[in-house]
Amino acid sequence: MKRVAIAGVGLIGGSFALALRRAGFDGEIRGVSSASTIAVAMEHRIIDGAMELEEASRWADVLFLAQPIRRILAMLPVIGASIGPSTLVTDAGSTKRAICEEAARVMPPEQFLGGHPMAGKESRGAASADPSLFRGRTWVITRESGHPLVDWLRRIGANLLVLDPETHDRTVAYTSHLPQLTSTALACTVDGADLRAGGPGLIDMTRLALSSYEMWEDILATNADAIDGALREEIARLESLRSGLRSGLREEFEKGAGMRKRLVRPVELG
pLDDT tens for residues 24-64? 999 999 999 999 999 999 999 999 999 999 999 999 999 99
Q: What is the pLDDT of residue 268?
A: 39
159, 184: one domain: no
Q: What is the pLDDT of residue 269?
A: 33
Q: What is the pLDDT of residue 124?
A: 80
Q: How confident is the model at residue 267 (pLDDT cuts 50, 70, 90)?
A: very low
Between CA 219 and CA 185 the distance in angstroms is 17
pLDDT in tens, 167-187: 999 999 999 999 999 999 999
List residues bridging with 67 in a β-sheet: none
Ordered alpha helix ranges (H), the chain: 11-22, 35-43, 53-59, 69-82, 97-106, 148-155, 165-172, 178-190, 200-205, 213-222, 224-243, 250-269
Of 121, 145, 163, the one marking the end of a domain is 163
Between CA 84 and CA 71 the distance in angstroms is 21
137, 178: one domain: no
Read off the CATH number of the domain in which 205 is found.
1.10.3660.10
Between CA 177 and CA 220 the distance in angstroms is 8
Q: What is the pLDDT of residue 265?
A: 56
Q: What mean pLDDT do residues 242-258 have?
A: 96
Q: What is the pLDDT of residue 150?
A: 98
Q: What is the pLDDT of residue 270?
A: 32
Read off the CATH number of the domain in which 35 is found.
3.40.50.720
Q: What mean pLDDT do residues 176-204 have?
A: 96
Of 163, 195, 211, the one marking the end of a domain is 163
Identify the domain containing residue 223 by its residue range.
167-269
C-alpha dihedral (29, 35, 37, 39), degrees to nearest 10: 70
82, 8: one domain: yes
* Number of domains, the chain: 2
Q: What is the pLDDT of residue 185?
A: 98
138, 250: one domain: no
110, 179: one domain: no
181, 257: one domain: yes
Q: What is the pLDDT of residue 30?
A: 98
Q: What is the pLDDT of residue 122?
A: 67
181, 129: one domain: no
151, 76: one domain: yes
| Beta carbons of 9 and 66 less than 8 angstroms apart | yes
152, 30: one domain: yes
144, 205: one domain: no
Between CA 86 and CA 60 the distance in angstroms is 8
| Beta carbons of 46 and 127 less than 8 angstroms apart | no
Between CA 193 and CA 202 the distance in angstroms is 12
Distances (CA, A) of 164 to 101, 104, 111, 113, 232: 12, 13, 16, 11, 24
pLDDT in tens, 109-137: 999 999 999 988 767 888 889 999 999 99
Of 163, 192, 207, the one marking the end of a domain is 163
Residue predicted with more confidence, 101 or 264? 101
Which of 108, 57, 111 shows the shortest CA–CA distance to 84? 57
**Single-letter amino acid code for the residue at 103:** A
Q: What's the pTM?
A: 0.91
Which of 51, 17, 16 shows the shortest CA–CA distance to 33? 51
